[in-house]
Amino acid sequence: MSSIPRTFARLLVAASFLRPASAANSKRGLVFTPNESTRKDDQIWVETPTTIKWYYNYQPGPDPTYKDIPQSQLEFVPMLWGAPDPTSKTSFLDTVRAMIEDQGVNITNVLSFNEPDGSFAYGGSDMEPSVAAQAWVNNLVPLQEMGVRVGLPACTGGTSGIPWLRNFLDECSKLISTSDSPRNCTYDFVTIHWYGNFEGLASHMGEYSAAFPNKTMWITEYNLNDQDLATTQTFYNQSAEYFDRLDFVERYSYFGAFRSDVSNVGPNAAMLSNNGSLTDIGAWYLGRPATGIDPTSSSSFRSMPPIGRFQVPETCNTE
């Protein structure tokens, strides 16, 4: 007659965590950009029902909030964000290897450099292709030899991306080839960032398909920034439908897992309102019904610069 016994309540919580996500074969992931002042928002993405199967946080190690969730429920994907200093440093490799070998964490995919063709000022890792190639050979090739899948670096959505990647692959191949034994650096999937409209996104994906044929794709950051709500929602629906339909899209993660008042992609692109409630896009992304909550409700919206995306603090580098 009173409340549910405690142990039973705990079991219910555990069971709801272990139940498969509503969309069993979801490709959806979380670009995790937690804000220390609103850490309570972090649970929303992993509470059922959810479609979130994986996440990354621009770092080699998992976030404390999620680190006890098994990989089979929420796969953590480590990222080698930028150039180690000095270049010869292998702390990324050491961290990931220790997770696999000492902690028994089933790491099966890793992401490489974040916007290496973009400047630090706009959140890029600003790397020379030759430096990136050396860091790749030192840190990622040994993981590939252990069977870990690795994504090609995620360039900006600009025209510098594909040329940068070609230079990178040339430099990388030079490092591992000898005169009598030419070799190429290999990768398991192409990684894409896009900010702009749906037609631009589809065309950008087409350019990558042509440049790197027969590779699957992960779209690890995308959004149509700084638009009115109807335009943003239409873009969200079109792109999600497109990614879900295309077999060569393995995974995708919408850049918007933050409150609208701190969004650097405009308030309407955020999945949380000013008070941390799911917006329609946030709810749809998790496979839930629309909430009808206006992204800018509950407090006044403070505008942020339109560009800059997510900038990793210095401490998040792989040093």
Residue that the structure tokens 């995620």 belong to: 154
Buried b (16+ CB within 10 A) or exposed e, 90-112: eebbebbbebbeeeebebebbbb
Among 183, 203, 248, 308, binds ligand NAG (CB under 6 A): 183
> Which one of the spans 3-11, 79-87, 120-128, 289-297 is the region binding ligand NAG (CB under 6 A)?
289-297
Structure tokens at 213: 């044929």
Query: Cα–Cα distance between 257 and 304 in angstroms, integer?
Result: 16
Q: Which residue, 15 or 290, has its beta carbon nearer to ligand NAG? A: 290
Q: Which residue, 19 or 302, has its beta carbon nearer to ligand NAG? A: 302
Contact at 8 Å (CB) between 58 and 79? yes
State residue 161 phi and psi, 5-degree precision.
-65, -60
By CB under 6 A, how many residues form the interface with ligand NAG? 21
Among 237, 242, 244, 246, binds ligand NAG (CB under 6 A): 237
String of DSSP letters for 187-221:
-SEEEEEEES-HHHHHHHHHHHHHHSTT-EEEEEE
> By CB neighbour count within 10 A (0-12 exposed, 13-18 middle, 19+ buried), where does 188 fall?
middle
The answer to whether residue 178 forms part of the interface with ligand NAG (CB under 6 A) is: no
Closest distance of CB 183 from ligand NAG, Å? 6
The answer to whether residue 213 forms part of the interface with ligand NAG (CB under 6 A) is: yes
The answer to whether residue 184 forms part of the interface with ligand NAG (CB under 6 A) is: yes
Fill in the per-residue mask, 47 to 86: x = in contact with ligand NAG (CB under 6 A), - = not in contact.
Answer: ----------------------------------------
Nearest one of 68, 83, 91, 93 to 14, comparing CA atoms: 68
Closest distance of CB 2 from ligand NAG, Å? 27
> Which one of the spans 16-24, 143-151, 157-165, 233-241 is the region binding ligand NAG (CB under 6 A)?
233-241
Closest distance of CB 275 from ligand NAG, Å? 4
Q: Is 110 helix (H, G, I), strand (E, B) or coil?
A: strand
The answer to whether residue 233 forms part of the interface with ligand NAG (CB under 6 A) is: yes
Among 156, 239, 277, 296, binds ligand NAG (CB under 6 A): 277
The answer to whether residue 110 forms part of the interface with ligand NAG (CB under 6 A) is: no
